[in-house]
Amino acid sequence: MDERINRIGFIIKKKFLISLLIGFMLLGTFIGSFGFTSTMFVLPIGGIGDFHVTFDKLEGKGFSMSPRFGRSDDSTDDTSIRSSFQSVTIYGLHLYKDFKLPTGEWIRVNIHANQPTEIEGLIQDARFIEANLQLDGMAMNQSSEDTDVLTNWIQNEQTVTITNGEMVTDYLFQNMITLNGAEFSIEMLSEYQANEPSAS
């Protein structure tokens, strides 16, 4: 009986390691191809829980912001702010996501960009935003015939500058992104460190 249990456990562990290795190989292929072009088109990221975005400075054009109610993914908070930009330049971008492995351990997948990141057609749903804002040409308009003042509004600005930004988002979409000088890394975390702000 014990021998059978050990054998089944070994087979499951072996299959998991093979699947994990294949996943890292595919990720490596993706990163390699991305590194040659530095540009991707129509890139949605969502449905995988919260992920974090920090940056030194963001310069955006064609900015609008509106409330959003309802789940974008599996997060427990149903309320977020949807912001969209026609074009964005981001300096010092750091995007990371924490994953829990079947073994119970946590890993953090990091993407750092040490050169300016150019994005066209950015849409994001953020549940938490901490930053310094500078707006130009602000206007607030009625977004629909709905009489609910909590949802029936949209805020538009011609340009926006955001510094020292930190966001917790559950959805991102870009028509095109040019990520120059990108560095990808994976680090092991303790359970306490998981989903905590990154030190870098």
Q: Are residues 51 and 26 in the same domain?
A: no
How do residues 164-195 score in pLDDT, each as one tens digit? 999 988 777 888 888 788 888 888 887 656 66
> Which has more pLDDT, 136 or 59?
59
Q: Are residues 5 and 99 in the same domain?
A: no
Q: Are residues 49 and 7 in the same domain?
A: no
State the DSSP code for 150.
T
Q: Which residue is it, tokens 């993706």?
A: 30
| Distance between first and last Cα of the chain | 50
Q: Are residues 141 and 158 in the same domain?
A: yes
Report yes or no on 196 lying in a domain.
Answer: no
Report yes or no on 49 lying in a domain.
Answer: yes
Mean pLDDT, range 18-42, rounded to an integer: 49
Closest by Cα among 79, 73, 72, 44 to 175: 44
* pTM for the model: 0.66
Mean pLDDT, range 11-37, rounded to an integer: 50
At residue 55, the pLDDT reads 94
Q: Indicate the Cα dihedral angle 15, 16, 19, 24, nearest 10°.
A: -140
Q: Are residues 5 and 60 in the same domain?
A: no
Name the residue range of residue 5's domain: 1-36
Report yes or no on 170 lying in a domain.
Answer: yes
Q: Is the pLDDT of residue 136 over 50?
A: yes
Mean pLDDT, range 150-155, rounded to an integer: 52
Q: Is the pLDDT of residue 159 over 80?
A: yes
Which of 32-36, 74-78, 123-127, 156-160 comes out lowest in average pLDDT? 32-36
The domain total for the chain is 2
Q: What are the residues whose beta carbons fall under 8 Å from the beta carbon of 21, sequence distance 6 or more?
A: none
Q: What are the residues whose beta carbons fall under 8 Å from the beta carbon of 74, sequence distance 6 or more?
A: 47, 49
Q: Are residues 156 and 178 in the same domain?
A: yes
How do residues 74-121 score in pLDDT, each as one tens digit? 444 566 778 888 899 999 999 888 887 777 788 888 888 889 989 888
Q: Are residues 109 and 12 in the same domain?
A: no
Q: Are residues 180 and 138 in the same domain?
A: yes
Report yes or no on 84 lying in a domain.
Answer: yes
At residue 29, the pLDDT reads 45
At residue 139, the pLDDT reads 57
At residue 10, the pLDDT reads 44
Q: Is the pLDDT of residue 148 over 60?
A: no
Q: Residue 108 and residue 194: Cα distance in Å, rounded?
A: 8
At residue 3, the pLDDT reads 46
> Which has more pLDDT, 57 or 143?
57
